[in-house]
Structure 1
Amino acid sequence: MNKWIFYSALVPFLAACGSTLPNTSAETYTKYTYVPLDPLPIDTKPGESCVENAVQLSYITEIELTKALPDQTVRMATRKFNADGSTDFTLAKTAVENEQFEVILDYMNTDTAPGNFSVRRYVADLVNYKAGLFNTTYKNVSYKKGDTLGFTTPTPPGVISKYEIHPYVDGKYTGNEWSQISIPIYVGLGLRLKANANVIKGSVNISGFPGIAAKASSGDIQGSLVVQTLGVSGEKIAATLPLPSELNETTFMNSILAMGAIKAQIHSSDTDRTPRVVGFYNPFGGGEEFINAMISALSEKRHPWFRACTAPKVIGG
């Protein structure tokens, strides 16, 4: 099998749109991005097509799972590891010497579940900052720790903000300090290819796996490659999963071949399939603090997914 067939089948796409959250020092690279997650459990509920009244619920039939996940998608996410230990999901295309990065490519059968959340942004810390022609050091005395900041207010000088996010519940987290937002949550099944690497010399284009693998083979970067299933398991799939010990062109090619074989088994009756939350799209920005708070909110309780049904049967019909 020609490897370029697999490459062209896995060409990722990235979307970008406008931001409303305040910019931070990393915002140029961290806003408007797909954020992959370690799979999280969901709360499956009957969709609007399943029931007209509670009596009819036992008479309907749920749509077969893969048909209830109508979207087949390839998404890519890139994350850089900063010197201070923080990480940023980024739209940057290049990593340079001594930088560490992670590239994640997801193939998924998904449905988009609307995510409604309550968000509070507050002052987490106050630090000295420099401003003016003579780089004078100042301390912002207009704020104190714990003060609420507007969700779309630019970050004041010397202020470090954080976010508290919870699933939206009527009557809870709805005061003046809270904002309500909606974010697309991706629920589904799929496969994930993940490369973690450190740039040893020169620079590397991190917008695609073939170039990364070639750089690894030449010794310019060192790292590892991981293939992961998302909500998909079974005897045959376990036997098909590769065990790549390092990142190079050979392990990349073997991983792509394995992903193709596992993809073909997703619809098999021998495969165990459990839809999971696999990621979300961040249309707001807010940097690492916002993303971490979103992950915490999604872990707080199972996110609801409304599974579609065939047309309800009429009682006695």
Structure 2
Amino acid sequence: MIINCMPRSVLSQEEADLLRELSSEEIVDLEKMSDAESFYEKVEAVIPPFRYKAEDLMPMKNLKWVQSFSAGVNTHPLSYLKENEIVLTNTRGVHAPQMTDHIMGMILAFSRDFLPAIRHQKERRWSHEYRLTELRGKELLIVGAGSIGQLLAKKAKAFDMTVVGLKRTPEELQDFDQVLPLEHMLSAMETADYIVILAPLTKDTRGMVGEEAFQRMKKEAVLINLGRGPLVEEEALIRALAEGRIRGAGLDVFHKEPLPEESPLWDLENVLLTPHLGGFSDGTNRRAVELMAENIKRFRQGEKLQNVVDLHLGY
């Protein structure tokens, strides 16, 4: 038996029905995992909510597979899954089109100085006091050159940007001028005009962009984070922005979400904020449903699943 515990606000009834249709599987929709109490022993696979605990899985003695609805898996009980040899898969790849659109939108907003332009429009102020730049020849550093980073590189190349990628295991990649090991991050930041954070959140990457990183960045550099909030030391970022040590930041993820009302980020004029919506679009759920349906078919046929997470690495 497969149970689906994604909230209806994310995966609609129509989409859940489509998953059943495409997978030819009788999936049981539940509001929470504890609603499966009367048939725990029958549960073989779970599509869990975004946040849950190992205790939610413990009664399911025959559980073999967890299918995450998101690409990031830092909210999953990885240690429990590893200890009990439960396979975890994610939806890596389905978020790439909209996330890369979102990132390019932020890059263009800084390149053409849309933030002050929007403020001046509200003030009915006609001004030519803008820092207007071109993307042609500008250097884009992608920290985390996975599937999203690779599509971003393709889009950046359409603007004639120079693209440098950072990857745990560097390799030659299409649309990248250079791919470096992740440990070269600080030196790579010294020449970048736009720095995009797309790395997974693990114990090794938490706080990877801190005070030293901001000291190394160019004064005209823009930091964009669509990975996870804790990848960046928020207090160090706020200081760098407030002191004008970098040009600005585009942020879709934060240490605490929703972003607290008292956060200085709300009031900084060189910050573009979006409320963790970079991964959503009118096409996201369809791609996710199709991927999960394919995995369900593979699960039933005993074939290798797509997007298996390395539980030792955490992504």
TM range (shorter): under 0.3
Q: Which has the higher contact order (CA 8 A, sep 6+)?
A: 1
If each structure's strand is expressed as a fraction of its own residues, which one has the higher value?
1
If each structure's helix is expressed as a fraction of its own residues, which one has the higher value?
2
Relative to the length of structure 2, the TM-score reads: 0.24
Q: Bigger radius of gyration, 1 or 2?
A: 1
